[in-house]
Chains A and B, each alone.
Chain A
Amino acid sequence: MGEILQYLLTGLSIGGIYALVALGFYIMWEATKAANFTHGDVYMFGAVVCVVLVERGFPLLIAAAMAMVAAAAVGALIERLLVRPFNKEPNAIGWMLTTIAIGIVIESTATITYGPLGRPLASPLAERPIRFGGAGIYPQELLLPIVAILATIALELFYRRTTLGRAMRAVAVNPTAAGLMGINPFRIAMIAYALAAAIGALAGILIAPVVQATPTMGALIGLKAFGVAIVAGIANARGVVIVGICYGVIEKFIEAYISTGARNAVGFTLMILALLLFPQGIFGRREVVKV
């Protein structure tokens, strides 16, 4: 019983990361029908910058906020320089390559300047685990799924209740018509990428006290989160976060009951199967094509 609870708790925590990173993919996709393919490296960037700032003597919360702002700036730049010029026609693939390129650059720059080894980030929430039944977990880890859910609620409120949020939804549905209504879809796209990057960086900062920040921490997480977003149907925030958290839990149970080594093979196979069963994603809408 304790064991199962333990897997569930750690799974929720990992799932929280997938959910937050996948949420970023969703936000970018809504605005541009493209995304920063290596969004995982923005997640890493947030963690690494935060660690460095804390090492320089900034208080944790200030450092975290600064790291998120820096990540948002990087996100906006990526949209302006690497996505917009390569996403001009439907089914364009240029943005995939340019954002993979920037991911490689960010990751290798981090390796060269920060060093390949992980460094800790001290957090008051990662000092003493709390125990339930036979399971133990740091409060820091529990923060992840909670933040993921809060972020989803905040995002939905933002999309529904604010003028900017409504403008973003309008662009998602029809950028041309939105443009005719006086909304600048390019500005919306930049804001979306900045927002996605800030959320991604937040996920990195939240997990850094538990796993240590390394330059390679983001690559695989990013790919998995992208898979999660696509499997969810990349159509609504709730779906993306639910699938993200579930994927984390499923991974932990695969580790526990099959083997650690099989985690990715089984996990990705499940993703492929899910896409075969639900070609538009689990929560996706099927688009009726008018001829």
Chain B
Amino acid sequence: MKERWQFLIILALGVAFLVVFRQTEPTGYQMGLMMRCMILMIVTIGLNILIGHAGLVSLGQAALYGLGAYVAAWLAVKQGMQFLPAVAAGIIATAIFGAILAYPTVRVRGVYLAVITIAFGLVFQNILVEWLSVTGGTQGLIGIPRGNVFGISLTRPIYFWVVAGCLILAFIVQYNIIHSRYGRAMRATAQSENAAKALGINLAGTRTLAFVISAALAGLAGGLYTFLNLFVNYETFTFFHSVSFLLMVILGGTGSLAGPLIGTSILVYIAEILQDLQEWQILAYGVLLAVVMFVMPRGIVGTAGELYARLTTKPRARETQAWPNRSVPLADIHGEGTERGQLVLKTDGLTLRFGGLTAVDNVKLEVSSGTVHALIGPNGAGKSSVLNLISGFYTPTSGTIAFFGNSIAGHPSYELARRGIARTFQNTELFGQMNVLENVLVGFHAHYRNTLFETLFRLPRFGHEERRFLAQAHQLLNFVGLSDYAEEEARNLPFGHQRRLEIARALALRPKLLLLDEPAAGLTHGEIEDLKALIRLLADNGVTVILVEHHVEMVMTVSDHVTVLDYGRVIASGSAAQVQDNPQVIEAYFGTGGAEFARQHAVAAAK
């Protein structure tokens, strides 16, 4: 809600500023400068979505901007195309290139991606200079006719509002994307790939979307630039410009709404001042870049926000409620359970090898619905590997995994999550910089049905779904007793609360099968008691649970069925009591002679 007000206020202030600016009768030079600034803002808004939300760094944004400009210019000059179709073609061309550039992000990130985008930018520039017949070489394309829309000539005063309208549109698109499941998915993939996958988010699709949106905005800006300048030249689209775009975004504050607007205005203004410095201009630019990074590593908006938060937040007493909160009707939370007695999961001959090491060896499991099935065994027995196989993080070397009778071996984890397999992680994987509520909302990702189009234009279904899942997320937080922490960043939670949040987030998926990887590790005695109650409650409500755990007492009390692994092989399987007395199990845990030791120990304990 707070963000929504910020958005509306910035929008209102921006429009008011533009209206006032037009009233002051600016000179032609000032008009040109303002329009150029607005066009650059469209580029940086797109780049902000990419860097600030999807966590992907592009150092080739100027080339995408240039691509939009050259496509529009070429169509206008050589094909006599009108303003609207020429700009639209520019947008489509850059969006396609954005998708192509996004392809490598399926597998590479960070600095690898930076190199690919740099290389793309340099290739683009090289082509602009060398492909004389199309691009006009170093001279560029000149003589672009002034734009014309439905018979109205786009003279400068009119064009000013065309550009302003596009900027406002870009700003609204930014808000609508980042405050939707798409934006949440982008932040989730940036902060924890594993958790995102486990919640049904398609990483490649999400990153491609971010790239395409940022490229399309760059293409739009390029087209607008063409019809403002009326000639295009390669010098506007160099690597140096890509760096400037990055600087604008970071100076303003990545991930913030107003950041790109502020960063762009300041740098455009500074560049104007620096022009008088001639040869010192670039030096001053470099020094400025370094100084900004030193003084405000989180950018203007980020730093101001921190200051504001420090001044205004008062320490507030927050109460942690008991969990599981039985007053919350479970039926509302996890929806469909499964009928009792169904075979939920069946593995046969499941084997996983890493090189010469066999981590999982010919494992056979049968898990029926509404039961708690524990996997125990000494360290390195292959318990977590089995979970990773079931949740699609690893592909089995051989063997089958059937989920409700359908083979799922080797399917991608996001797809399995959508089918109803949820999991938690040994080393809790939360989206640290998102708040607690948002973490749970990401869990609902797979249940949203509204399309990108509905999200962008805020059609009714978007609102319905958003409100419904928001209410359910609050209910889940209530269920795990974290209602008071909804606005807190997840990374600030104490450890036990992080565990609760992770389970709440997994429940948001409405799992048919819930995989818990050492949920008790690091918890206090009291917290473990709560956890036991929760697991039982879930199983009694039809959620099937597979539990990997070292805490033997807990395993023995909550489990309906226990499978013991050692060196990747199943050495015992049965009810808790059966397994406890199995000599092989005792030997695996205590070594040879362990059986005798355990017996004496039991006798001593009985006394």
Determine whether the beta carbon of A227 is less than 8 Å from that of B57.
no
A104, A231, A271: the one contacting B286 at CB < 8 Å is A104
A97, A220, A262, A271: the one contacting B293 at CB < 8 Å is A97
B288-325 contacts to A, CB under 8 A, are 289-290, 293-294, 297
Cα A269 to Cα B55 with chains together (Å)? 24
B104, B108, B286, B384: the one contacting A101 at CB < 8 Å is B286
Determine whether the beta carbon of A104 is less than 8 Å from that of B123.
no
B247 within 8 A of A: yes
**A226's closest neighbor in chain B, by CB?**
B115
Cα A97 to Cα B244 with chains together (Å)? 10
Inter-chain contacts of B130 with A (CB < 8 A): 259, 261-262, 265
Determine whether the beta carbon of A100 is less than 8 Å from that of B289.
yes
Q: How far is the CB of A27 from chain B (nearest CB, A)?
A: 15
A275 within 8 A of B: yes
Inter-chain contacts of A289 with B (CB < 8 A): 194
A184 within 8 A of B: no
Map CB proximity to A onto B116-152 as digits: 1 under 8 Å, 0 otherwise: 1011101100110110000000000000000000000
Determine whether the beta carbon of B279 is less than 8 Å from that of A111.
yes
Determine whether the beta carbon of B116 is less than 8 Å from that of A291.
no
Inter-chain contacts of A262 with B (CB < 8 A): 126, 130
| Residue of A107, A108, A262, A281 with most chain B CB atoms under a 10 A cut-off | A108
**A271's closest neighbor in chain B, by CB?**
B119
B239-286 contacts to A, CB under 8 A, are 239, 243, 246-247, 250, 279-280, 282-283, 285-286
**A88's closest neighbor in chain B, by CB?**
B297
Inter-chain contacts of A227 with B (CB < 8 A): 115, 118-119
Chain A interface, DSSP helix/strand/loop, else mixed:
helix
B103, B122, B282: the one contacting A268 at CB < 8 Å is B122
Determine whether the beta carbon of B290 is less than 8 Å from that of A269.
no
A82 within 8 A of B: yes
B4 within 8 A of A: no
Inter-chain contacts of A4 with B (CB < 8 A): none
B388 within 8 A of A: yes
Q: How far is the CB of B190 from chain A (nearest CB, A)?
A: 8
Determine whether the beta carbon of B280 is less than 8 Å from that of A112.
yes
Inter-chain contacts of B108 with A (CB < 8 A): 275, 279-280
Map CB proximity to A onto B96-122 as digits: 1 under 8 Å, 0 otherwise: 000000011001111110111011101
Q: How far is the CB of B230 from chain A (nearest CB, A)?
A: 27
A60 within 8 A of B: no
How many residue pairs, one in A and one in B, have C-beta atoms under 8 Å apart? 118
A174 within 8 A of B: no
Q: How far is the CB of B125 from chain A (nearest CB, A)?
A: 8
Q: How far is the CB of A276 from chain B (nearest CB, A)?
A: 6
| Residue of A91, A100, A220, A291 with most chain B CB atoms under a 10 A cut-off | A291
Cα A91 to Cα B123 with chains together (Å)? 26
B567 within 8 A of A: no
**A264-B123, A291-B425 given as contacts; is B282 within 8 A of A101 (CB)?**
no
A98-157 contacts to B, CB under 8 A, are 98, 100-105, 107-109, 111-112
Inter-chain contacts of A272 with B (CB < 8 A): 104, 116, 119-120, 123
Inter-chain contacts of B279 with A (CB < 8 A): 108, 111-112
Determine whether the beta carbon of B114 is less than 8 Å from that of A96.
yes
B393 within 8 A of A: yes
Determine whether the beta carbon of A97 is less than 8 Å from that of B115.
no
Inter-chain contacts of A268 with B (CB < 8 A): 119-120, 122-123, 126
A159 within 8 A of B: no
Inter-chain contacts of B289 with A (CB < 8 A): 97-98, 100-101, 104
B328-365 contacts to A, CB under 8 A, are 354
**A112-B280, A265-B127, A269-B123 given as contacts; is B286 within 8 A of A103 (CB)?**
yes
A93, A101, A263: the one contacting B290 at CB < 8 Å is A101
B12 within 8 A of A: no
Cα A96 to Cα B110 with chains together (Å)? 11
Q: How far is the CB of B32 from chain A (nearest CB, A)?
A: 26
Cα A98 to Cα B59 with chains together (Å)? 14
Cα A262 to Cα B132 with chains together (Å)? 12
Q: How far is the CB of A257 from chain B (nearest CB, A)?
A: 16
Inter-chain contacts of A168 with B (CB < 8 A): none
B580 within 8 A of A: no
Determine whether the beta carbon of A108 is less than 8 Å from that of B122.
no
B426 within 8 A of A: yes
| Residue of A97, A231, A263, A269 with most chain B CB atoms under a 10 A cut-off | A97
Inter-chain contacts of B103 with A (CB < 8 A): 276
Q: How far is the CB of A243 from chain B (nearest CB, A)?
A: 13
Cα A288 to Cα B357 with chains together (Å)? 14
Determine whether the beta carbon of B239 is less than 8 Å from that of A94.
no
Determine whether the beta carbon of A230 is less than 8 Å from that of B286.
no
Cα A226 to Cα B285 with chains together (Å)? 23
A86 within 8 A of B: yes
Cα A107 to Cα B282 with chains together (Å)? 9
Determine whether the beta carbon of B239 is less than 8 Å from that of A101.
no
**B194's closest neighbor in chain A, by CB?**
A291
A210 within 8 A of B: no
Determine whether the beta carbon of A261 is less than 8 Å from that of B290.
no
B1 within 8 A of A: no
A205-238 contacts to B, CB under 8 A, are 220, 223, 226-227, 230-231
**A100-B243, A112-B279, A226-B115 given as contacts; is B104 within 8 A of A275 (CB)?**
yes
Determine whether the beta carbon of A264 is less than 8 Å from that of B290.
no
Q: How far is the CB of B47 from chain A (nearest CB, A)?
A: 12
Inter-chain contacts of B57 with A (CB < 8 A): 93, 96
Determine whether the beta carbon of A275 is less than 8 Å from that of B116.
yes
Inter-chain contacts of A259 with B (CB < 8 A): 130
Across the A-B interface, give the 4 residue pairs with the lowest CB-CB distance, nearest first.
A104-B286, A101-B289, A279-B107, A261-B130
User: What are 23 A-to-B residue pairs whose CB atoms are below 8 Å?
Assistant: A86-B297, A96-B114, A97-B289, A97-B293, A98-B290, A100-B243, A101-B287, A103-B286, A104-B285, A112-B280, A223-B118, A259-B130, A261-B129, A263-B126, A265-B122, A269-B123, A272-B104, A272-B116, A272-B123, A275-B115, A275-B116, A288-B354, A291-B393
What 18 additional pairs, Cβ within 8 angstroms, besides A268-B119, A272-B104, A272-B123? A91-B109, A94-B293, A97-B250, A101-B287, A104-B286, A220-B122, A223-B239, A226-B118, A227-B119, A230-B112, A264-B122, A265-B123, A275-B112, A276-B103, A279-B107, A291-B194, A291-B393, A291-B425
